[in-house]
Amino acid sequence: MKKLSILAVALSMVTLGVPVLAHARPQEASQDQKKAESRTIRGMVKADGDKRSFVSDEDGKSWDVDNPEILKEHTGHHVELNCELNNDTGRMHVTKVTMIEAQPSQ
């Protein structure tokens, strides 16, 4: 009987522990979302093989791109991006790309 009581208590602890762990995951995700900052930024799309990066006009900072396929047709172009920047990781997720027309030479 004593073993059965111990087993019942142990199982109830495990059962109660699983929902607690499940609730911890969304909090971690929300912290990552807080780190990402939505911005519109201008600069150049650079390529190194299949890898695409973006160099900001503002400060010359180079960003790795989470979804480089969206920039594939814009390699070497001056563009404006709507994106989410994560300064902690130096990565960006691009949501929209707009070509910027080249200024005429004077």
pLDDT tens across 19-54, in order?
Answer: 555 555 554 544 545 567 899 999 999 998 888 999
Any domain includes 26: no
For residues 10 and 71, give the distance between their C-alpha atoms in angstroms, rounded to a whole number. Answer: 54
Any domain includes 18: no
Domain of residue 69: give its range. 36-99
Between residues 37 and 102, the one the model is more confident about: 37
Number of domains in the chain: 1
Q: What is the pLDDT of residues 4-22, one digit of tens each?
A: 677 666 666 655 555 555 5
Any domain includes 60: yes
What pLDDT was estimated at residue 29?
A: 47
CATH code (residue 48): 2.40.50.140
Any domain includes 4: no
Q: Quick one: pLDDT band at residue 104, thresholds 50, 70, 90?
A: low
What pLDDT was estimated at residue 16?
A: 58
Any domain includes 68: yes
Any domain includes 19: no
Give long-range contacts, CB 8 A cutoff, 24+ apart: 51-60. 54/81, 54/92, 54/94
